[in-house]
Structure 1
Amino acid sequence: MPSLFMSDRRTGKLIVDKENYLYNNHIINEIISRQCKTLIRNYYRYMQAMVERYRNIKFKI
């Protein structure tokens, strides 16, 4: 995979390869959104399990 930043040999400044940057950015966003969806799904399942668990417990007063 080509690198995101290339440096100009004469000036030593960084040059951004725009297309490559956009492509990498897209991939990074995809990965983040997938991880977030998984996290939310897992949290929701966890909360449902907790509700089910506490529904079955009768509190003695």
Structure 2
Amino acid sequence: MAGFVILDGLGQTCPELDWLIVAKPYQGYGVAQALMKTALACIAPDKPIQLGVIYYNERAQRF
């Protein structure tokens, strides 16, 4: 498995992209972008979403 994404609260006003994980061997190959695109397609285009990033994960912050 290259990675996975978890969305929470899809029926709520502001759903949350709770997890977006990519296995180290697959990082840098566009897997995160593909997962994000798929996740966003599950949410109405006019709906805001929440996304949190752990403060020490600089790679995720850049993404």
Structure with higher Rg: it is 1
**Greater RCO, 1 or 2 (C-alpha within 8 Å, sep 6+):** 2
What TM-score comes out, normalization by structure 1 length?
Answer: 0.29
Q: Which one has a larger percent helix, Structure 1 or Structure 2? A: 1
TM-score (norm 2): 0.28
